Amino acid sequence: MLIHSVFDPDFAPYGKVLEGYDTAALTDTLTAVTPLPEGVDYVPSQPELEALPIAGQFASNAYGGMPIQLGWCNGHNTKLNCLEYHRDSELNIGSEDFILLVAREDDIIDGRLNTARVKAFRAPAGAVVEVYATTLHYAPCSASKGAGFRVVIVLPRGTNGPKPAMTPLNGEDETLWACNKWLLAHAESSEAAQGAPVRLDGVNVDLAAEL
pLDDT digits (tens, 9 = 90+) for 7-58: 999 999 999 999 999 999 999 999 999 999 999 999 999 999 999 999 999 9
Q: Which amino acid is at 119?
A: K
Q: With bands split at pLDDT 50, 70 and 90, how would you rate the model's confidence at 149? A: very high
Q: What is the pLDDT of residue 5?
A: 98
Residue 208 in 3-state DSSP?
helix
Query: Stretch 100-111: mean pLDDT, rounded?
Result: 98
Report the Cα 9 to chain-centroid distance in Å.
20
Q: What is the pLDDT of residue 155?
A: 98
| DSSP codes joined into one string, 105-146 | GGG-BTTBEEGGG-EEEEE-TT-EEEE-TTEEB-S-EESSTT
Residue 152 in 3-state DSSP?
strand
Q: With bands split at pLDDT 50, 70 and 90, how would you rate the model's confidence at 110? A: very high
- The residue ranges of DSSP E strands in 14-127, in sequence order, are 15-18, 40-43, 68-75, 82-85, 90-94, 98-104, 113-114, 119-123
> What sections of 34-189 are H helices per DSSP?
47-50, 53-57
Query: In the CATH hierarchy, which top-level class contains the domain 3-81+88-160+203-210?
Result: mainly beta
Tens digits of residue pLDDT in 49-99: 999 999 999 999 999 999 999 999 999 999 999 999 999 999 999 999 999
**Nearest CA-CA partner of 101 in 172, 177, 37, 40:** 40
Tens digits of residue pLDDT in 131-144: 999 999 999 999 99
Q: With bands split at pLDDT 50, 70 and 90, how would you rate the model's confidence at 116? A: very high
CB 86 within 8 A of CB 12: no
- CA–CA dist 186, 175 (Å, integer): 13
Q: What is the pLDDT of residue 151?
A: 98
Q: What is the pLDDT of residue 76?
A: 98
